[in-house]
């Protein structure tokens, strides 16, 4: 498995992955916001993916991550979206993607991610994953599109 920068040929595979997790993240396929964010990240080279069996662009994805690097006007790095196809969970795909973006952070830096709050049982695995990756719970975030709570997690990169 290897992390690749997504291309426009991967868009269909990203949408397939998004469809698989809409029950957790809310409507993404019907939202221009997710599609535009995906295209923006592909254009700037910050949409990262792992393709099944290391295939070429356009092959199904095992996982994907949208990353917003720090800027002068916003010094914090953000993982904006991370998802792994159900049949590829617990195979190290998410860890590989997160380790990749952590390696891109200019130290000292901070990486944040918004994940599910404690009142969302289906989000327990995500919270546990981020904690294992060294992220710490921080302030609450605005509710998700389905109305459930969200939690900011942060990790320092020394």
Domain with residues 4-157, CATH architecture: 3-Layer(aba) Sandwich (3.40)
Predicted local distance difference test score (pLDDT) of residue 77? 97
H/E element, 1: none
Segments making up each domain of the chain, as ranges: 4-157
Tell me the per-residue pLDDT of 56-108, one tens digit each, with 9 for 90 and over: 999 999 999 999 999 988 889 999 999 999 999 999 999 999 999 999 998 99
Q: How far apart are CA 33 and CA 27, in angstroms?
A: 10
Q: For residue 55, report the phi and psi dihedrals to the nearest 5 degrees.
A: -65, 175
CB-hemisphere CA count at 13 Å for 87? Answer: 5
Residue 103: which of 62, 155, 138 has the closest Cα?
155
* pLDDT-above-90 percentage for the chain: 78
User: How many other CB atoms are found less than 10 A from the CB of residue 21?
Assistant: 16
């Amino acid at each position: 498995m290897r992390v690749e920068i997504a291309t426009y040929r991967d868009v269909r595979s990203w949408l397939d992955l998004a469809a698989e997790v809409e029950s957790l993240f809310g409507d993404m396929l019907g939202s221009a916001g997710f599609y535009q964010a995906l295209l923006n990240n592909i254009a700037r080279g910050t949409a990262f993916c792992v393709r099944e069996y290391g295939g070429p662009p356009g092959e199904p994805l095992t996982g994907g991550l949208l990353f917003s690097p720090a800027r002068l006007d916003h010094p914090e790095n953000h993982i904006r979206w991370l998802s792994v196809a159900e049949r590829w969970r617990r195979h190290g795909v998410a860890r590989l993607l997160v380790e990749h973006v952590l390696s891109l952070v200019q130290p000292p830096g901070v990486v944040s991610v918004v994940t599910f709050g404690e009142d969302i049982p289906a989000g327990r695995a995500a919270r546990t994953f981020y904690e294992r990756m060294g992220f710490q719970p921080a302030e609450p975030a605005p509710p998700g599109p389905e109305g459930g709570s969200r939690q900011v997690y942060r990790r320092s990169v020394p």
